Amino acid sequence: MTTQAVDSIETTRDEARSWLRAHWDPELTVQQWWAVLADSGWGFPTWPKEWFGRDLDPVLSGAVREAFADVGALGPPSSLGQMLGGPTLLTHASEEVKARFLPALARGEEFWCQFFSEPGSGSDLASAQTKAVADGDLFIVNGQKVWTSGAQWADRGMLVARTDTEVPKHRGLTYFVIDVDQPGVDVRPIHQMNDAHGFNEVFFTDAEVAADRVVGEVNDGWAVAVTTLAFERFMSAFGASPGKKAGLLERRAGDVVSGAVRGPREGAAYGSDLAAMITDIARTRGLADDPVARQGIVDLYIQQELGRISGLRSAASVRLGRRPSGDGSVRKLARSDLMRSARELGEAVLGPYGTLRSVEEELGGGSIQQIALSSPSSSIAGGTDEIQHNIIGERVLGLPKEPQIDREIPFRELKVGTQRTTP
């Protein structure tokens, strides 16, 4: 990294830290604080200035995060709406659509979810069968989505639905922003083996979405969805759950940042330094000098560092104006491998304590067990490992695409997923 780049990072960190020290007030409600943060541009500093940002290079976002940690201030709102929806709108949406949705996202007033996967079209998103039929100024939506994270907390959803069955599958999809709280949208949480209920299946029965809620163009939703998926492989959250359903907006901001009040997030409750946590457990169990445990911890630390360095490289790529591509898939595969390694090493270090769901804080407080039960999802959520390998092969290594005999066939003629009869 050049001296100029280092100076820029330090300058950004100092500027953000100075602003936060002058404005952070733990006595404000979460909603009040997020409104102040949105107006300042420090909540989403890489967004354009006219849309609640500061036009910062993505490589500088880490410096801003460090400033929040240094000051102890509550970070910006973070749901899929802020991490995926906002960037997707900035890339594809009209000025009218941006003006309608970005303010509420920046201020944390809304929680969004992602209506992509279906029972018969998960990895092959282009074969989605949920239909949106035009009816005047509305589209009428019928179908089913599954594995929808946070749908029970969501105000709106990013919906990919089929609007034309007469063209090949990639050309007949449209991307909508749909209201979740309406007749015809039935959200059913899925109970997972890690005791979380973060995923849902969602049924649409004559649900409505206005024609002016289209992001991009009708029947061109595939390009928009690909952008969302690309951002998904780069995302990381450090704030709190937005929207009224999360129950945090009227809470004291200082209580939320201290952990005295928690939102609805479910799943593993652990930090990013897994090697440090397992090292502490090994010391507690008298395994600090065990050569097998030591080698495992070193290997895990190396994986973490490679992931961190890869993140810096990806941020630098975005700074140069390159859109997210294969690098995101490489990083996602690395995260999946990291979770599996942490699971195997953590359980080995815990020994018989690994069979218990709740243990002392000195033994991780149950975090390793939660990792073990949650780790399989890291290879599925956001695109399966198999899909990531295909993306890397095609976009990074330049290998030929896999044969696709259905790419130019009208969708109505395909027998994909659960589609067994011609519409």
117 CB contacts (<8 Å, ≥6 apart)?
A: 125, 145, 146, 147, 148
Could you write out the DSSP letters of every residue in 63-79? HHHHHHHHHT----B-S
Name the residue with tokens 């309608």. Answer: 100
Instruction: Fill in the amino acid letter for 64.
Output: V
Strand 173-179 with 156-162, pairing: antiparallel
Give the Cα separation of 191 and 99 in Å (integer): 37
Is 345 in contact with 300 (CB distance < 8 Å)? yes
* DSSP secondary structure letter of residue 406: T
128 CB contacts (<8 Å, ≥6 apart)?
A: 116, 118, 121, 143, 160, 161, 162, 173
Give the Cα separation of 48 and 53 in Å (integer): 5
With b meaning 16 or more CB within 10 Å and e meaning fewer, what string describes 317-340?
bbeeeeebbbbbbbbbbbbbbbbb
Query: Per the residue annotation, which of 217, 232, 266, 386 is the catalytic one?
Result: 232
Is 52 in contact with 63 (CB distance < 8 Å)? no
Q: Confirm whether 232 is a catalytic residue.
A: yes
- What is the CA 204 to chain-centroid distance, rounded? 23
Nearest by Cα to 285 from 218, 356, 348: 348
Give the Cα separation of 379 and 229 in Å (integer): 15
Q: Read off the tokens for 31.
A: 């909603």
Give the Cα separation of 55 and 12 in Å (integer): 12
Question: Angle at Cα 14 formed by Cα 12 and Cα 20, nearest 5°?
Answer: 100
Task: Give the residue numbers marked as catalytic.
Answer: 232
